[in-house]
Structure formats: C-alpha cells, structure tokens
C-alpha cells in the first residue's frame, strides 16, 4: 500500500527527538508541580509515619501516579499528533488502542521511576548521613530554612524523570510510533 511522502522535518531523527523532549518538558513541569503539591498535602501523614518505609514507598508511588494521571493525556495527544510524525500506522497511533498502549508503557516507566524515587528516599533518609526526608517537601520549603528538603526532592525527581524519559522514548520510538520501513518510504 503506497504511503504519503514525508518531509525531512517529519523523518529527521534529531527534530523528532527535539519535539519529544519539548513535549517531555511540558509533561515534566505539570508532573513536578502536581507531585510537590500532593506531597505537600500529605505532609502531616508522612511526618506521622516517617519510620514506615513501606508506607513511604506507597506514598512515592501514589504521588507519582497522581502526577502521571494529570500529565498523561496532554503528553499522549502531543506525542501522537506532533512529536512522532514519521509513523507507519498513524491511525493506530492516534486511536483508543494507541492511547491505551501509550498509557501502559508510560505506567511501566512510572513503576521504574517510583522505585528510583523510593531509593532516593532511602538514600536521603536512611542510607547516608544526609538525613533528609524528601517526602516532607512542600512549597514553604522552597523559601524556608529547610531548603535542603526541597533540593533533595528536586534531585530525586530529576533522576526519576531521566529514567522515565529514556524508557518512554525507547518504547514510543520502537514500539508505539515505529517509523515505516525504508522500502515503504521509497515506494511512495
């Protein structure tokens, strides 16, 4: 079946990567604000259960899940329509099934990021002399005397985001938004 010819801007790896990263920055900003806000809301409960590491893992997961649920619809639509333009099956990429697969792989990235977040929590609180509970972050720590908590939270967030960015790009590029085979492009 002949395909529609794609422009160089649509097929360029570097432009595609740049578009993906722009969508990622947008999603990350949404996710970051939501995660700080939700963690701030849970501040009292976290303080009361500080020594319960199982609860801390679930808090990090739930906080990440809420950020994920808020950011995913926007990032799916932007990835499907704008970031990945050189797609073999555009209808499937933009379909409900495509959205479901996007969400599944993004959720797997979230699980990996949550594990990294929990490891960051344990490193900051238990396994080193830093002794900072990143789950005690709230907007007041940005301007208060406890800025170390804010920065520790932010560093762990950046590490989680780096993992999920790479994981999500690989799954999107090679599974969800596969480019057409070269012979399909040359026949157009």
* Percent with pLDDT over 90 in the chain: 36
Mean pLDDT in residue range 127-151: 80
> Do residues 141 and 96 touch, judged by C-beta distance below 8 A?
no
Residue 121 CB neighbour total at 10 angstroms? 23
In Å, what is the CA distance from 83 to each residue of 93, 118, 156?
12, 31, 27
pLDDT score at 29: 92
> Do residues 146 and 84 touch, judged by C-beta distance below 8 A?
no
Given a cut of 80, whether residue 175 has pLDDT beyond it is yes
**Residue 183: pLDDT band with limits 50, 70, 90:** low
What are 16-20's contacts with CB under 8 Å, separation 24+?
16/83, 16/84, 16/85, 16/86, 16/173, 17/169, 19/82, 19/83, 19/84, 19/85, 20/79, 20/83, 20/84, 20/169, 20/172
188 secondary structure, DSSP code: -
Token pair listed for 66:
């809420």
In Å, what is the CA distance from 144 to each residue of 60, 90, 119, 149?
23, 49, 25, 10
Enumerate the domain spans of the chain: 9-186
pLDDT score at 103: 92
- The C-alpha atoms of residue 169 and residue 24 are separated, in whole angstroms, by 10
The overall average pLDDT reported for the chain is: 84
* pLDDT tens for each residue of 140-169: 666 676 788 888 999 999 999 999 999 999
pLDDT score at 2: 44
* pLDDT tens for each residue of 22-68: 999 999 999 989 988 888 888 777 777 767 888 888 888 888 899 88
Q: Which one is predicted more confidently, 181 or 124?
A: 124
pLDDT score at 1: 41
* pLDDT tens for each residue of 83-97: 888 788 888 878 888
pLDDT score at 141: 62
């Amino acid at each position: 079946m002949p395909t529609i010819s794609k422009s160089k801007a649509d097929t360029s790896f570097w432009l595609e990567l740049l578009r993906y990263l722009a969508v990622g920055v947008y999603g990350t900003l949404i996710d970051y604000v939501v995660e700080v806000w939700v963690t701030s809301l849970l501040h009292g409960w976290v303080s009361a259960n500080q020594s319960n590491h199982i609860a801390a893992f679930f808090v990090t997961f739930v906080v990440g899940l809420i950020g994920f649920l808020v950011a995913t619809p926007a990032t799916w639509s932007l990835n499907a329509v704008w970031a990945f333009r050189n797609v073999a099956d555009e209808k499937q990429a933009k379909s409900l099934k495509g959205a479901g697969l996007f969400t599944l792989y993004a959720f797997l990235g979230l699980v990996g990021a949550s594990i990294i977040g929990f490891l960051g929590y344990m490193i900051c609180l238990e396994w080193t002399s830093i002794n900072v509970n990143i789950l005690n972050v709230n907007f007041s720590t940005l301007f208060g005397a406890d800025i170390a908590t804010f920065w520790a939270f932010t560093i762990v967030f950046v590490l989680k985001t780096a993992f999920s960015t790479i994981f999500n790009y690989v799954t999107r590029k090679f599974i969800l938004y596969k480019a057409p085979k070269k012979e399909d492009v040359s026949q157009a």
